[in-house]
């Protein structure tokens, strides 16, 4: 899509911009929902972020973001029901914090390097003829004015996640039973 975009890829680029905004809220909600997974505050926080994401989904005319949020919240609720297994609870918090750090790294590198990010196939001629400029006529900013920055962000963000997954798997393979046999002492929550 970035190197040789097709005529219908303008919608995917717009969705990538929208997803950037939604992911920003998802990262924040992920940290708070992970920390408060075993608390009654979980429901209040989930509803607060749910209303914000629902409003964004309505403004984007795309309810999929709200449905994804509901599925992700249900997944995060598992930590609250994990019982006495503190490893699952701490792993959930660690992944949420890692996601926030990766989002921050990708965002900072985007802000620093945005002048040098190549546009490849996302030229002004393509953006005008594909309908991208028409789809985003009422918005502006770096992500809309330079859609290559969105492509760069997602590549950096997901590359960090891939590295993290391999790093964690490499660290956990030293333990004979994998992550389930990894034990440590912790306070009850």
* Cβ(142)–Cβ(114) below 8 Å: yes
Tell me the H-state helices in 36-63: 41-60
Grouping H, G, I as helix, E, B as strand and the rest as coil, residue 139 is coil
C-alpha of 72 from chain center: 11
Measured distance CA(76)–CA(96) in Å, rounded = 10
Q: CA-CA distance, 50 to 55, in Å (whole number)?
A: 8
Question: What's the pLDDT band for 155 if we cut at 50, 70, 90?
Answer: very high
What pLDDT, in 10s, does the model give residues 59-85? 888 899 999 999 988 887 776 666 656
pLDDT above 70: residue 179: no
Task: Report the first-to-last Cα separation within the chain, whole angstroms.
Answer: 46
What is the pLDDT at residue 175?
54
What pLDDT does 146 receive?
Answer: 93
pTM of the model: 0.83
Q: Please answer whether residues 147 and 116 qualify as being in contact, where contact means their C-beta atoms are separated by less than 8 angstroms.
A: no
């Amino acid at each position: 899509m970035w190197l040789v975009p097709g005529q219908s890829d303008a919608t995917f680029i717009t969705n990538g911009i929208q997803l950037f905004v939604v992911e920003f809220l998802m990262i924040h909600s992920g940290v708070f929902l992970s920390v408060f997974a075993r608390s009654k505050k979980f429901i209040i926080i989930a509803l607060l972020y749910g209303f914000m994401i629902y409003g964004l989904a309505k403004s984007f005319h795309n309810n999929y973001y709200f449905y994804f949020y509901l599925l992700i919240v249900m997944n995060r609720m598992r930590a609250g029901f994990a019982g006495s297994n503190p490893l699952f609870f701490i792993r959930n918090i660690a992944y949420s914090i890692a996601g926030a750090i990766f989002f921050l790294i990708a965002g900072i590198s985007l802000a620093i390097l945005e002048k040098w990010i190549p546009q490849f196939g996302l030229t002004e001629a393509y953006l005008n003829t594909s309908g991208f400029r028409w789809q985003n006529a009422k918005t502006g900013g770096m992500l809309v004015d330079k859609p290559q920055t969105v492509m760069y962000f997602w590549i950096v963000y997901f590359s960090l996640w891939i590295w993290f997954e391999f790093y964690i798997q490499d660290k956990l393979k030293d333990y004979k039973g994998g992550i389930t046999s990894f034990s440590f002492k912790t306070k009850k929550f």
